[in-house]
Amino acid sequence: MPRTRLELEQIERQILAPYAQFSGDTRGRKFKEEPPVWRTQYQRDRDRVIHSRAFRRLEYKTQVFLNGTGDHLRTRLTHTMEVAAISRNIASALKLNTDLAETIALAHDLGHSPFGHKGETVLARLMKGNGGFEHNQHSLRIVEELEQKYPKFAGLNLSWEVREGLAKHHTAYDHPSKRKGFDAKNSSLEAQIANLADEITYYSHDLDDGLDSNLLSEKDLTAKVKVWAHAARLVKKQFGALPDESRRYFIIRTIIDMQIGDVVRTSEKLILDAGVNTADDVRLHPQALIRYSPTRRLLNLELRDYLYKNLYFNPVVHEPNERAVKMLAQLFNYYLKHPKEIGESSRKRIRKTGLHRAVCDYIAGMTDRYVIQECEKIFGQKFTVLPSRAVA
């Protein structure tokens, strides 16, 4: 006989830790629906995220390098998939709900604007005095309002626990404002995992992309970044001399393994010391319980500072992105004067949300290449995304 949702919920109670978020204990959805037959509630949520338009658009949104710069460089979509994989690994090791952790990870960047964090900064400035813009909060708006797939409600009608994870998602790069309805000090352990998995992922893949584009060098990393130097010694000791591609891959894989191992060991001790017995105990705890050790946190700060100095603000990365976001601002101001030219669904929301928010929603949903195409069509501007000389 096929395995039913009720059986899956029973298995969760048998194998997960008592402080995990059980799918059978969900606080439910804003709009009542019949429960799934063969999936848990969080498995249904995961599928809804994957099948959303916003998720598909991530393929053509910038991660670090302007989209289209190189075939092997990460996009917002490949970043998201890597975050989801690491989230599942950490959740599984700690006997937490892997489906919930994965779903939050898959949805965490749905609200990202074109052109990455620089695009977000521009939209936040343009929306000052009109509600602002922050990509985590916009992810919530997408799953609660903007996706239009179902006949009886707007949005994806995701479970409360997934929306909580989006409302409280934060990393060293972003700190969303509080959202009404998610008032507890902390979120579930699964949501906390998605936060750290996001950081682990961009530390590792930004190193990979930086090396692949020749903007970073192994020699300089070995001299200046302890995390890299330590992993490089371990790989050399285990495998000896390796070809360049294989050596870099195994060094970065070792860094990821060390990060995950540190988070699992540190978090397990923090959880046990906290004495939490339920997922709601976790939410009421004054501090996050999924954390790096103090030593690892300092090492990661050194790595982050190095990446900012040598990759994110490198002219090869910075200058094309700066040119692109100027187009974003130009397009925003044009649509304020010509609101009939924004998409039909956005025009319909003007009365409800105001013109600025409707325009912001429309532009935030664009891919990098669509912004460029619109600017070429409206202003006659040419913006060809060509591989830099540094990018292989």
Q: What is the pLDDT of residue 70?
A: 64
Q: What is the pLDDT of residue 66?
A: 65
Q: What is the pLDDT of residue 61?
A: 87
Beta carbons within 8 Å of 62's beta carbon, 6+ residues apart: 75, 76, 114, 115, 116, 119, 321, 324, 368
Q: Residue 392 above 80 pLDDT?
A: no
CB contact burial 298-308 (16+ within 10 A = b; e otherwise): ebbeebbebbe
Q: Residue 390 above 80 pLDDT?
A: no
- Whose tokens are 């959202």? That residue is 179
Average pLDDT, the chain: 90
| CA separation, residue 300 to residues 327, 328, 366 (Å) | 34, 32, 32
What is the value of pTM for the model shown?
0.92
Q: Residue 319 above 90 pLDDT?
A: no
**Cβ proximity of 224 and 232 under 8 Å:** no
Per-residue pLDDT reduced to its tens digit, 182-200: 777 899 999 999 999 999 9
| CA separation, residue 14 to residues 7, 8, 10, 11, 25 (Å) | 11, 10, 6, 5, 14
CB atoms within 10 A of CB 292: 18
Q: What is the mean pLDDT of residues 78-95?
A: 97
Percent of the chain, pLDDT > 70?
92
Q: Which two tokens stand for residue 182?
A: 């998610």
Q: What is the pLDDT of residue 67?
A: 63
Q: What is the pLDDT of residue 286?
A: 93
| DSSP-based three-state secondary structure for 75 | strand
Give residue 188's region: left, alpha or beta (phi > 0; psi -120 to 50).
Answer: beta
The pLDDT confidence band at residue 387, using thresholds 50, 70 and 90, is very low
Query: Which of 115, 116, 133 lies closest to 124, judged by CA?
Result: 133
Beta carbons within 8 Å of 198's beta carbon, 6+ residues apart: 83, 105, 108, 169, 171
Q: What is the CA radius of gyration of the chain?
A: 22
- Domains, the chain, with CATH or none: 5-379 (1.10.3210.10)
Q: Which two tokens stand for residue 304?
A: 């982050």
CA pair distance 146, 148, nearest whole angstrom: 6
CA pair distance 30, 181, nearest whole angstrom: 12
Query: Which of 26, 61, 22 lies closest to 157, judged by CA?
Result: 26
DSSP state of 62: B
- State in Å, rounded, how far the first CA of the chain is from the last one: 52
CA pair distance 206, 216, nearest whole angstrom: 10
Q: What is the pLDDT of residue 369?
A: 87
CA pair distance 260, 82, nearest whole angstrom: 13
Per-residue pLDDT reduced to its tens digit, 146-162: 999 899 999 999 999 99
Task: Calculate the CA dihedral of residues 276, 281, 283, 285 and round it to 10 degrees.
Answer: -60
- The contacts found for 21-24 with CB under 8 angstroms, 24 or more apart, are 21/96, 21/97, 21/100, 21/161, 21/188, 21/189, 21/190, 21/279, 22/97, 22/279, 23/97, 23/99, 23/100
- Whose tokens are 């590792």? That residue is 204
Q: Residue 254 above 60 pLDDT?
A: yes
CB atoms within 10 A of CB 273: 9
Phi, psi torsion values for 269, nearest 5 degrees: -65, -45
